[in-house]
Amino acid sequence: MTGYRAVTWNEPLVYQLGRKGRRGSAIPAAEEQLKVKVGDVLSKIPEAMRRREPANLPELSEPEVVRHFIRLSQQNFGVDSGIIIGQGTCTMKYNPKINEALARSPKLTEVHPLQDSSTVQGILEIMYRLGKLLCAISGMDEFSLQPRGGAHAVLTNARIIRAYHELNGELEQRNEIVTTVLSHPCNGGSPAVAGFKVITLYPDPETGIPNVEALKAAVSKHTAGMTITDPYDTGIFDPCIDEYVKIIHEAGGLVAIDQANANSLFGRLRIGDVGADLCHFNLHKSFSTPHGSHGPGSAPIGVRRHLSKFLPVPTVEFDGKKYRLNYDRPHSIGKVSGFFGVIPAVLRAYAWIMTMGAEGLHETSEVAVINNNYLLGRLLKVRGVALPWIKSHPRRLQEARFSLQQMKEETGVGIDDVNRRIVDFGIQKCFTSHEPWIVPEPFTPEPPESTPKEDLDTFAEVLRQISQEAYTNPEIVKEAPHNCAISRIDQSPSRDSKKWALTWRAYLKKHK
Amino acid sequence: MTVHRYIPNSDPEVKKELLDEIGVKDPEELFAAIPERIRFHGPLDLPHGMSEHEVRRLIEGLLSKNVKPDEMLSFLGAGCWPHYVPAVCDEISSRSEFLTAYTGDAYSDLGRYQALFEFQSMIGELVAMDAVTVPTYDWATASGDAVRMAAIASGRREILVARSTSPDKLSVMRNYCGRLAEIMPVDYDHQSGQLSLEDLKEKMSPNTAAVYIENPTYFGFIENQGERISNIAHDNGSLLIVGVEPLSLGLLTPPGEYGADIVCGEGQPLGLHMSFGGASLGFIACRDEEPLLSATGHRLVTISTTECRGEWGFTYVLPERSMYAAREKAPSITGTGAALCAITAAVYLSLLGPNGIRELAETIMQRSNYAMKRLSEIRGIKAPLFNSTHFEEFTVNFGGRKTIRNINQALIKHGIQGGKDLSKEFPELGNTALYCVTEIHTKEDIDRLAAALKEVLK
């Protein structure tokens, strides 16, 4: 239907390419005079610490390396490749090329993080300005750019919640964090890594959101805070969010609101106005920085004034003349990663906000939400597709979580099959759901603002065709893929330590 | 709002078509789920949007205030090292199929899975371990994950860490450990810098989950006692974690051969630009044993086969461990990590090959040792401070007359960025800086540094 033919190279592993003696690098040799002066440095390495055998790396010439990795890239599917709107919760929007060009400037790439601040005023200014822009967008008071992904941001926020209660002498007592099951899993996972006991609220079957009474019952003198995603990955905005904040505050806790789904909120809601004490944005989602095949992302955290002193060090500060990194913050939680964050992403996000401006951000959310509701209407016409909680929430914000349960029951074809089939059409698979699957046989498309109407129609049309296949000739779907670089994968190494091999050396030991 | 170039459906005609189909007149109706009492009615306090040309001028203008190495000779390392990045690395890392993808299955994203498996394989060879995870953010966070793994796998609650480790890394470890384990420093010998085995033995207890050492250490020298430390740890039922700088492994014994159970390290030297410390990857390797692998939350790509003979397939091992599935029961955080950096590192290591990495490590070691010799000829300088063998970084002690801050300020006037000031992190070392010399520094560069320091110390 789309006329797509997958690129199929049957490319060997890099270890199966090249031959002994080939090389893809020329290493600068030390000058003769220098060598004479230092003598045989290798003999200084104590015997036991001298590598006996050269590392078993592949031996390829430069053209072979280039061809190998170009072929691998051709068998990968990004935003630039085609329709990727099935991958909800990820906000797979267009990553502007100008931002790539700017992020590759040697004036950024060749700069060392510990250089004297007088030599890095430009990048410090960009960091400082991005922090201010994020404050304006969120209504928060101060941002740290150090966290490198969403889960890392929630961990950082959980550490700040700890530090806050510790300073108040209540840490021993306040050891519980409340979250909701439809929040991103890191809202439960990261606070647990930070040492909290986690209480998870489930949604009311009728409304898809937790019951306020359930939250009231969950809070106590042990409550340290709440970590919650709003809007949810179901595309439902939890309208009780300010009530939760009130309940948690009255119990003496803090609230961190995960803004991973902020793409629908620009200019409509500032999370600070809800009363959030902490929040985070994913620059690789709402702010257009590329996902890089699963990182590096970037997830700045925002806090209200009363928590500023706990932010990770260093912070970027400006005295009216010069920018500097400030490490002298006695209440800081310290460091959560090596330097200052994923700075190339910081630069790209700054460029994106400056490109869009206030009107552009407003338009971003408007069109993202229009796209989603248009697609929602089209998908509901596909046989076997249902939208849980449709009565309470017939419209959704940035994305929607559908269920193929009916199709599964009627045809035996479920979401895993559909996901193997949809890629035959040159459309990236759908995100299902984080676990637990509250919605059975789930899929979660999110068509961000950069999606043309034509793509929305193609996506809906392909799902309609797959549904038709499921109801008339389900084997086509179950045996998929038919038009991909590889056939169905043997999943058994996933759970069998005798079979799995995480490295080529392990594979050779186990399988040869 | 005019039609925006990034927003195809901002075209009023298309927008109306979509709204008609949805059955609403005003798009604001679609935001009705947000209660009025918390609704923001804007406008956002942001500037107006810009054309591409204006944005380019703005950002290039800001970046022009930065000074880069070809304008200033720099000797900074300390966790982010200046190395030559081959053009091939940039070519592959800017391929938009990799750059703009996220998390498809191997059917649509075969390239990512295969490249990650190749990355895991090459790191496995460097460190001599059979299991390697999909990497995390950087070395500091990888060390945090490594100590969590040890605490979870052993059920013990104390981690002994060489005190020659960067305090920033200790801070990250503590933030990663929560209530799970306590980070306890072990002293180093003040002559050699080597881990004090006496202090180690004294601090070992039935509650010791692991011993964490680095090789080369933060101070740049080779820790010679890997095997002895390993024996002490293992005799106590504790694990050995070794943090490494990967290029050194072109010359040094891989930790897997002296008893490491877990290895972590920084991948930035493997074809990644410094980018103000922003482009890094933290790798984690371990013995290929289920209890250890179950104690990490990171994704693990395994090679597999498909229904079609001769085809490689890939999938994830024990996916139920990860935070995506296990939520608060997950052993560590996981999420959007550093895959593009790992793909780039795989390209870099494929280019280097077994001979390239050995030659590169040798050149680095020759140049840094030359720098130590040249600097130590200057009156008032002791370089290095520790009498051990150094790889690419070394301590430079300037005695009592001038602070490192003063010296570095004076060097800037010579167009030179001096080493990292250690005087706050390690007051016991006095006026000491950490210098880094790699393959990019020529003899002339080093001689220039020596001449400038001579002048500055006059």
What does the pLDDT read at residue B279?
A: 92
Q: Which residues does A311 contact at the CB level (< 8 Å), separation at least 6?
A: A142, A144, A160, A301, A303, A329, A332, A333
Task: Name the closest residue on chain B to residue A276, using Cα atoms.
Answer: B38
- Residue B1 in this model has a pLDDT that exceeds 70: no
Q: How far is B124 from chain A (nearest CA, A)?
A: 6
Q: Which residues of A touch B4 (CB under 8 A)?
A: 356, 360, 363
User: Do the Cβ atoms of B100 and A291 come within 8 Å?
Assistant: yes
A residues 295-314 lying closer than 8 A (beta carbon) to B: 295-297
CB contact under 8 A, A353 and B111: no
Residue ranges per domain, chain A? Answer: 120-354
Number of H helices, E strands in chain A: 16, 11
B127 touches chain A (CB under 8 A): no
Residue among B285, B185, B299, B295 nearest B242 (CA): B285
Model pLDDT for residues B249-283, shown as the tens digit of each residue: 999 999 999 999 999 999 999 999 999 999 999 99
Instruction: Check CB contact of B369 with chain A, cutoff 8 Å.
Output: yes
Q: Do domains B73-84+354-457 and B87-348 have the same CATH topology?
A: no
What would the pLDDT profile of B387-425 be if each residue is shown by its tens digit? Answer: 999 999 999 999 988 999 999 999 999 999 999 999 999
B-chain CB neighbours of A444 within 8 Å are: none
Closest chain B C-alpha to A166 CA, distance in angstroms: 13
B-contacting residues in A 335-354 (Cβ below 8 Å): 335-347, 350-351, 353-354
| SS3 state of residue A350 | helix
Question: What CATH number was assigned to the domain covering residues A120-354?
Answer: 3.40.640.10
Structure tokens belonging to residue A142 = 């101060």
Q: Is the pLDDT of residue A16 over 70?
A: yes
Choose from B276, B417, B445, B448 for mutation: most chain A CBs within 10 A: B276
CA-CA distance, B84 to A343, in Å (whole number)?
Answer: 20
* CB–CB contact A27 B279 (8 Å): no
- Tokens representing B10? 């901002």
- CB contacts, 8 Å: B39 with chain A: 268-269
Q: What is the mean predicted confidence (pLDDT) over B26-52?
A: 96
Q: Are strands B239-244 and B262-266 parallel, antiparallel or unpaired?
A: parallel
- Note the pLDDT of residue B44: 96
Question: B197 — contact with chain A (CB < 8 Å)?
Answer: no
pLDDT at A367 over 70: yes
CB contact under 8 A, A294 and B112: yes
- In this structure, are residues A188 and A179 in contact, taking their beta carbons and an 8 Å threshold? yes
Identify all chain A residues contacting B311, using CB atoms and an 8 Å cutoff. Answer: 10, 486-487
pLDDT at A235 over 70: yes
ipTM above 0.90, yes or no: yes
Q: How many contacts (CB atoms, under 8 Å) link A and B?
A: 729
Across the interface, whether the CB atoms of A114 and B369 are under 8 A apart is answered no
Average pLDDT over chain B, rounded to whole? 97
Q: Write the burial class of residue B427 (CB in 10 Å: 0-12 exposed, 13-18 middle, 19+ buried).
A: exposed
What whole-number distance in Å separates Cα of residue B42 and Cα of residue B46? 10
State pLDDT tens for residues A101-142.
999 999 999 999 999 999 999 999 999 999 999 999 999 999
Cβ contacts of A433-439, under 8 Å, gap ≥ 24: A433/A233, A433/A401, A434/A89, A434/A184, A434/A185, A434/A233, A434/B324, A434/B325, A435/A185, A435/B324, A435/B325, A435/B327, A436/A181, A438/A181, A438/A182, A438/A202, A438/A203, A439/A234, A439/A388, A439/A401, A439/A402, A439/A403
Query: Is any Cβ of chain A less than 8 angstroms from the Cβ of B33?
Result: yes
Interface residue B423 vs chain A (CB under 8 A): no
Cis peptide before B47 (omega within 30 of 0): no
Pairwise CA distance, residues A284 & A345, whole Å = 8
Q: Does A412 touch chain B (CB under 8 A)?
A: no
Fold of domain B73-84+354-457: Aspartate Aminotransferase, domain 1 (3.90.1150)
- Chain A hits for B289, CB-CB cut-off 8 Å, are 497
Name the minimum distance, in Å, from the CA of B429 to any CA of chain A.
20
Would you say residue A450 has pLDDT above 70?
Answer: yes
The Cα–Cα gap between B392 and B266 comes to: 15
Question: Do B366 and A35 make contact, defined as CB atoms within 8 angstroms?
Answer: yes
Residues whose CB is less than 8 angstroms from the CB of residue A358 and which lie 6 or more positions away in sequence, other chains included: A267, B42, B43, B44, B45, B46, B47, B48, B49
Contact A11/A71 with Cβ under 8 angstroms? yes
Tell me which chain A residues have a C-beta less than 8 angstroms from the C-beta of B45: 136, 358
Chain B contact present for A85, CB below 8 A = no
Nearest to A92 among B102, B168, B273 (CB): B102
How far apart (Å, rounded) are the C-alpha atoms in residues A96 and A283?
A: 13
Residue B178: the pLDDT is: 82
Q: Is B378 on the interface with A (CB under 8 A)?
A: no
Q: Alpha carbon of A466 to those of A1, A111, A261, A411, A412: distances in Å?
A: 11, 51, 29, 12, 13
| Domain limits, chain B | 73-84+354-457, 87-348
Nearest residue on chain A to B128, alpha-carbon basis: A55
Question: By the 8 A CB rule, do B316 and B300 touch?
Answer: yes
A294: left (phi over 0), alpha (psi -120 to 50) or beta: left
Beta bridge partners of A278: A256, A303
Does A512 have pLDDT greater than 90?
no
The residues in B 41-80 lying below 8 A from A, measured between CB atoms, are: 42-50, 52, 55-56, 58-60, 62-70, 72, 74, 76, 78-80
| Residue count of chain A | 512
Strands in B393-397's sheet, in edge-to-edge order, are B393-397, B432-436, B420-421
DSSP-derived pairing of the beta strands A176-180 and A442-443: unpaired
Alpha helices in A267-342 (DSSP H): 271-274
Please state which architecture CATH assigns to domain B87-348: 3-Layer(aba) Sandwich (3.40)
**Among partner residues A78, A151, A419, which is closest to B97 by beta-carbon distance?**
A78
Bridge pairing between strands B282-286 and B131-132: antiparallel
A284 interaction partners in chain B (CB closer than 8 Å) = 336
Q: Is B124 on the interface with A (CB under 8 A)?
A: yes
What is Dmax (Cα atoms) for chain A?
Answer: 82
pLDDT tens-digit series, residues A156-213: 999 999 999 999 999 999 999 999 999 999 999 999 999 999 999 999 999 999 999 9
pLDDT of residue B2: 81
Of the candidates B109, B148, B178, which has its C-beta nearest A77's C-beta? B109
